[in-house]
A = this chain, B = another copy of it.
Amino acid sequence: MSSTNLDKVTKILSEVRNKVPLVHCITNYVTINDCANILLAYGASPAMCEAYDEVFDFVKLSSALYINLGTLNKEQEQAMILASTSAKIHNVPVILDPVACAASVKKIQVINRISQVGKIDVIKGNIGEIKSLAGQSANVRGVDSIDSGEGALESCIALSKKCSCVVAATGKKDFISDGRKSAIIENGTEMFTKITGSGCMLGALCGAACGASEDKFSAVVSAILSMNIAGEEAVKAANAPGSFRVKLMDCIYQLNEEKLKEGAKITWK
């Protein structure tokens, strides 16, 4: 059973590379370059289009839409909402990254609007963000969650049922649920917290995986596992953040199904 699950998950890496999904990202300017580069390294194709006049048509061409609420300027806000309606009309999967939603009323409003006029297939946030969206109290500081994983799986399941989508909460451990089945991943490295954009890059990878596979739950597990295994490899070669970032891209590029299978520490629920 769990071996079958793992097979499904690792196979998605090859599906990304075969299908080269076009991932339309509307994302913050802090890590927009990292997101585009990691998509290329993963085998996908990035489209970082955010002009209000262009997003509707661009989503139509895309395999997935990744919406990251990091820097939420007015034109981005309008573009996100419009893009999500295009995704609904054209049946394009939407991955939402609710960056810092626990610290901002505005972000909750935008999430509600997207869910109202568009759609959301995956919510991927840190544990603090997911707990907050699930209506539980969370321990956050600026954009960072300093929450322990306790109760995180329950929050994923609750939010997943509430929004009828796959939910992933990342932290020291990562929790993924589609409301019925769940997974806990214990791979990764502390070094992810020493660079900016680990979460954003992961969100982009979730977009690529969901753009390559209909099985959203396995796709999200696959993207998170890929990021974590690459991170583990990178930190072995580079134990300081500047070098780690460089190596991380190399390791994503050099990833293969065998490395995922050998390294995976997943508990299925």
Contacts and interface: CB of A to CB of B under 8 A. Distances in A.
A89 interface: no
Contacts of A240: 249-250, 253-254
Interface string A168-205: 00000000000000000000000001111100000000
A73 interface: yes
A61 interface: yes
- Which interface class (under 10, 10 to 19, 20 to 34, 35 or more) fits A? 35 or more
Interface stretch (A5-13, A50-58, A113-121, A149-157): A50-58
Contacts of A196: 33, 36-37, 40, 46
Q: Quick one: copies of this chain in the complex? A: 3
Interface stretch (A138-146, A215-223, A259-267): A138-146
Shortest 10 CB-CB contacts between residues of A and residues of B: A242-B249, A240-B250, A36-B196, A242-B246, A47-B142, A242-B250, A51-B72, A53-B106, A30-B48, A22-B142
B32 A30 contact: yes
Given A30-B48, A47-B142, 18 more contacts: A29-B48, A30-B36, A31-B36, A33-B197, A37-B241, A37-B245, A40-B193, A48-B70, A48-B71, A51-B74, A51-B77, A54-B72, A58-B104, A58-B142, A240-B254, A242-B247, A242-B250, A246-B246
